[in-house]
Amino acid sequence: MVKRGMLIVLSGPSGVGKGTVRKAIFEQGGNDFVYSVSMTTRQPREGEVNGEDYYFVSKAEFEAEIANGGMLEYAQYVDNYYGTPLKYINKTLDEGYDVFLEIEVQGAMQVREKMPDGVYIFLTPPDLKELKNRLVGRGTDSIEVIDKRIETAITEIKMMQNYDYAVVNDEVPLAVDRIKDIIRAEHLSVNRVMPEYTEMIGELER
């Protein structure tokens, strides 16, 4: 029997750099895990490819998918839906591959309820001043929206206790290395390795 893959969830407050770090992880390559492409109702940005960056769908299509039980989790974020289609995840995990999700915090907590044996990584800013600088620097939000996001970020940072690991995103390559180290170490954790030995011992004793 193939050993089921491991679910890896990267989350954290808006503007901390989740998207940036995730892209760097996959651009670097050489990973033993696959990226779960999310579904969204937001408009594609220039250069984004359907099925690669996101599955871009209408609100009606997204709501139909929710009604059909097709979403592992979803969240409404800045007037749009974002969610993880269930179909690929279970198939990929059953085939023995690890799956990597990069999602905002409401979604991550829904996944944790359903899949508690995943690895939950919380990306943190070096400090709140730097988080604000990043949101301003990204240039996608008004100052009012940014102030709201900082307030939300404070609540979200308090949720850190629901995660297994905290990774500071001071510099992208360092954050990438820390995340890859966590994934490597998790594969060696006794909780994950023990079932194989239990099975082996069971066979010997039979």
Ligand X SMILES: Nc1nc2c(ncn2[C@@H]2O[C@H](COP(=O)(O)OP(=O)(O)O)[C@@H](O)[C@H]2O)c(=O)[nH]1
Q: Which of residues 39-58 bind ligand X (CB under 6 A)?
A: 42
User: Going residue by residue from 60 to 79, which x/- string records binding to ligand X, judged by CB under 6 A?
Assistant: -------------x-x-x--
DSSP string, the chain: -PPPP-EEEEE-STTSSHHHHHHHHHHH---SEEE--EEE-SPPPTT--BTTTEEE--HHHHHHHHHTT-EEEEEEETTEEEEEEHHHHHHHHHTT-EEEEE--HHHHHHHHHH-TTSEEEEEE-S-HHHHHHHHHHHT-S-HHHHHHHHHHHHHHHHGGGGSSEEEE-SSHHHHHHHHHHHHHHHHT-HHHHHHHHHHHHHHHH-
173 binds ligand ADP (CB under 6 A): no
92 binds ligand X (CB under 6 A): no
Q: Which of residues 142-161 bind ligand X (CB under 6 A)?
A: none
Given 61, 94, 171, 199, the residue binding ligand ADP (CB under 6 A): 171
38 binds ligand X (CB under 6 A): yes
Residue 32: φ, ψ to 5°: -100, 20
107 binds ligand X (CB under 6 A): yes
20 binds ligand ADP (CB under 6 A): yes
Residue 153 or 183: which CB sits closer to ligand ADP?
153
Residue 110: φ, ψ to 5°: -65, -40
Residue 78 or 174: which CB sits closer to ligand X?
78
List the structure tokens of 98.
Answer: 């690890």
104 binds ligand X (CB under 6 A): yes
Angle between helix axes 143-158 and 128-138 (nearest 10 degrees) is 140
Given 4, 42, 134, 180, the residue binding ligand ADP (CB under 6 A): 134
Q: Which residue is nearest to ligand ADP (CB)?
A: 17
Q: Which of residues 135-154 bind ligand ADP (CB under 6 A)?
A: 137-138
Chain residues that interact with ligand ADP, rule: CB under 6 A: 14-20, 134, 137-138, 169, 171-172
Chain residues that interact with ligand X, rule: CB under 6 A: 14, 18-19, 38, 42, 73, 75, 77, 82-84, 102-104, 107
